[in-house]
Amino acid sequence: MIFITAKFQVLPEHADQWPEIAGEFTRATRAEPGCLWFDWSRSVDDPTEYVLVEAFRDDEAGAAHVQSAHFRAAQEKLPPHLARTPRIVNASVDQESWSELGEMAVE
């Protein structure tokens, strides 16, 4: 799978509305057949930072995502709400879903 984590630094005046601002893009991405997950979290240390954790089935699904109409629309809609260019980690991972963290197993 393609595993991606991205950090979005949102302008302070838009931070509380970010889930709604990115809502259409989020819903459309989650509906893609190759999307495994697409989840936003807000930093506990910086209320203007959102972290996006996303995964796609394979390279083909990742390419379909960045070539989609909703991705192009997000390229126009989201940047005016950002304080800087998002930072990203993108890796291919040889698994299909989340693994358990055995060191913290719950019995």
Distance CA 22, CA 39 (A): 11
Mean pLDDT of 28-36: 98
Q: Residues 54-106: pLDDT tens digits?
A: 999 999 999 999 999 999 999 999 999 999 999 999 999 999 999 999 999 99
Instruction: Please give the model's pTM, rounded to 2 decimal places.
Output: 0.93
Task: Give the domain ranges of the chain.
Answer: 2-95
CATH number of 2-95: 3.30.70.100
- Sign of dihedral through CA atoms 77, 81, 87, 91? negative
Strand order of the sheet with strand 49-56? 35-42, 49-56, 2-9, 87-92
Query: b/e for 85-100, b at 16 or more Cβ within 10 A?
Result: eeeeeeeeeeeeeeee
